[in-house]
Chains A and B, each alone.
Chain A
Amino acid sequence: MNKDAILATTIGLVLGLLISGVFIFGPNLARALPKFKFPSLALPKTSPKATPTPILKEFSLSITAPLADGIEPKKDVVVSGTTAPEATVVIQGPTDADVVIAGIDGGYAGKITASEGKNDVFVTAYAEKKQTSQNITIYYTEENF
């Protein structure tokens, strides 16, 4: 038989016996030990914390997909990201545009069609009479390489 296997079995058996011993005799041994008390530590009293003034989140817009300067595998490109909840988001591609309403969590996704070569994609979000914009460049070719 493999030496390693015998060794592993022996170690397993010993460990098993040890664990069983702890379970069987452990509680009685613990009771027999003298009682030990942890010393109590007095921590300095802290003054009550001041309530922070809530910082209003700025109206932001991010594009999470597609990646900037990436090569798109397909003509149809899904543009997604996050902005203010329920904002109106305009996604403008070189050949068409899409308008979507962001979700309660601020997530949005729309579809545009890429043209061959360089494509500048402009995303603008409108909410509460404010607007913010982001743009990215993506590339597309019909050729396989």
Chain B
Amino acid sequence: MKFTVVYILLFTALFSFGSSVFAATGTISATTQKIEDLKDRIATKVAQLKTTQRRAVYGTVKTVSITSFTVETPTRDLKIELTDDITVIQYLKGKRTTLALEDIAKGDTVVVFGQFDTTLDLLTARVVFIQGSLPEHAAGTVTGRDDKEFTLTITTPESQAFTIDIEKTTKALLWDKEKKELVKSSFSKIATGSAIHVMGQAVPKKELRISADRILDLGNL
């Protein structure tokens, strides 16, 4: 009697185990199929991303035609494909203005945003931003100041001496070491020996001279 009960229990256990394996196998095969589908989709997407990627290119417009234009970058010339849905942007008198495609002219300094096809080496433009003059940056130690001319002389670690023109619009900030924050400052507070950072516009026809937009005074570090 005991053996019969044991056999029945064993048989039931084996049968239920086998059934569960069978059921699980069915579920596994369906899940495997889903995983394989997902893998295929990911692989396709990765392949697409590998060939096309969002990219921005900065350079000067070299040639312009109806369907494309060429941008000369510091390293090479890049062909830009034009499409109908391109947005052309430029800041005119401080106002963000949307322009027409025809407004892109030879010699313009532009940043082209678009999809770059690595296999075709072609950038399909989506946004063309006509860039104004980029600000100049100089950092160094104040080695001289002219209170009459409102200029500072700074010497960079590379031993270049820049002349900094202080304008009425120049904003000066001072790094407060104690409070660890930036506070408003002025030309009169900038001392010789201080480390400063200047952002501004290059003065035309004058080398190593910057008309300052912003000065960051770090004091004597």
Contact = CB atoms under 8 A, between A and B. Distances in A.
A118 B111 contact: yes
Contacts of B54: 71, 145
Interface stretch (A3-11, A17-25, A32-40, A75-83): A3-11
B69 interface: no
Given A5-B25, A118-B58, A94 B199 contact: yes
B175 interface: yes
Contact of B89 (A94, A137, A143): A143
Counting chain B residues whose Cβ lies within 8 A of the other chain, the interface size class is: 35 or more
Nearest to A137: B58
A94 B91 CA distance: 15
B197 A92 contact: yes
A143 B113 contact: yes
B178 to A, nearest CB: 12
Contacts of B30: none
B56 A139 contact: yes
A126 B221 contact: yes
B111 A139 contact: yes
A69 B73 CA distance: 13
B134 A9 contact: no
A92 B182 CA distance: 13
Contacts of A99: 175, 180, 182, 216, 218
Interface of B: 14, 17-19, 21-22, 25, 54-56, 58, 87, 89, 91, 96, 111, 113-114, 126-127, 129, 131, 134-135, 137, 139, 157, 173, 175, 180, 182, 195, 197, 199, 214, 216, 218, 221
Interface of A: 1-2, 4-6, 8-9, 69, 71, 88, 90, 92, 94, 96-97, 99, 101, 116-118, 120, 122, 124, 126, 129, 131, 133, 135, 137, 139, 141-143, 145
